[in-house]
Structures are given as structure tokens and as C-alpha cells.
């Protein structure tokens, strides 16, 4: 069964898809009431599932009930994507964060399901039978190289 965070994330993404400009304005308290949860649960979903690393920009407005504005960043330029890959992944990355990047690229349709499976296999701890001290460094280089290769 899906966790509440997954359901809220899907709901917000569906709402975003229904907008013309990939911009959504929501009331945190109303969303919390819809899902019968605390506003902090909404904050958790927004900060973990809608970060700039995942291709979103969040703006919070206070006063008058306050609202949250979520913008899906459109990345059409391969040079920009290449720069984001090199700057955001850095010199080390753990398996979970690497898989999050792969999921983002799959969701944005920069890679296919098959490519994502190949990448996940290549960056997996079971594949990288290396000492922990260098495993995350090797994983970062593999991931960056593969992502850049498929967008070119």
C-alpha cells in the first residue's frame, strides 16, 4: 500500500500536470485537511519530493492564509542539464541519492525505463564491490558519465 507521502506527491504532480505553465499555487492547510494530516506532513513532502535537485522550485508566501507556489523547472537545454549533473552530483553520491537522480531523469523522460534499469544496476552497492572509502566516488563518476551520455 502506498504511503501518505507518496499519495500526496502524486496528487500534487497530477495537479501540476493540469496547469498550462507548470506552476501550482496551493494552500498548505487546505491540502493537509484534504489528506487528514498535519501541515508538517505537507512540508515534508514538499521539501523531500519537490526540491531543486528533482526539478522543482518552491516559494512560500506568508500572511492572508499563506500559500505555496510550486514551479516545475523546464530544462530544454542539454548544456544546462550537463551543468546541473556535474554541479549537483558532486564527487561522491550514495546509492539512494543516485537512484533518486535516475528516477528524476526517467520521470522527465530524458531516459527510458530500460536505461534507468541499466543505470540502477551499474550504481548498485552489490555491483560496486569496492571499499566503502571509494565506492561513492566511483558511483558518482559512473552516474554522471552515464547521464551525460544519454542526453547528448
Tell the residue number behind the cell numbers 556535474, with chain if given. Answer: 86
Q: Rounded to whole angstroms, what are the CA distances from 13 to 37, 50, 120?
A: 18, 9, 24
Q: Rounded to whole angstroms, what are the CA distances from 150 to 18, 118, 143?
A: 28, 12, 11
Give the 3-state secondary structure of residue 132.
helix
Tens digits of residue pLDDT in 38-59: 988 998 999 888 887 677 888 8
- Beta-carbon contacts of 118 under 8 Å, excluding residues fewer than 6 positions away, are 146
53, three cell numbers: 535537485
| All structural domains of the chain | 4-72 (3.30.56.130), 78-151 (1.10.1200)
**With bands split at pLDDT 50, 70 and 90, how would you rate the model's confidence at 74?**
low
Tens digits of residue pLDDT in 100-135: 999 988 988 889 999 999 999 999 999 999 998 899
Amino acid at each position: 500500500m502506498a504511503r501518505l507521502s507518496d499519495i500526496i506527491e502524486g496528487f500534487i504532480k497530477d495537479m501540476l500536470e493540469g496547469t498550462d505553465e507548470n506552476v501550482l499555487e496551493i494552500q498548505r492547510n487546505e491540502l493537509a485537511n484534504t489528506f487528514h494530516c498535519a501541515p508538517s506532513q505537507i512540508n515534508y513532502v514538499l521539501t523531500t519530493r519537490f526540491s531543486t535537485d528533482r526539478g522543482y522550485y518552491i516559494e512560500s508566501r506568508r500572511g492572508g492564509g499563506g500559500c505555496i507556489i510550486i514551479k516545475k523547472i523546464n530544462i530544454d537545454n542539454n548544456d544546462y542539464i550537463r551543468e546541473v549533473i556535474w554541479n549537483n552530483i558532486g564527487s561522491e553520491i550514495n546509492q539512494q541519492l543516485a537512484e533518486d537522480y535516475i528516477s528524476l531523469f526517467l520521470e522527465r523522460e530524458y531516459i527510458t525505463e530500460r536505461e534507468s534499469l541499466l543505470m540502477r544496476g551499474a550504481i548498485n552497492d552489490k555491483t560496486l564491490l569496492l571499499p566503502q572509502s571509494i565506492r561513492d566516488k566511483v558511483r558518482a563518476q559512473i552516474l554522471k558519465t552515464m547521464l551525460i551520455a544519454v542526453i547528448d
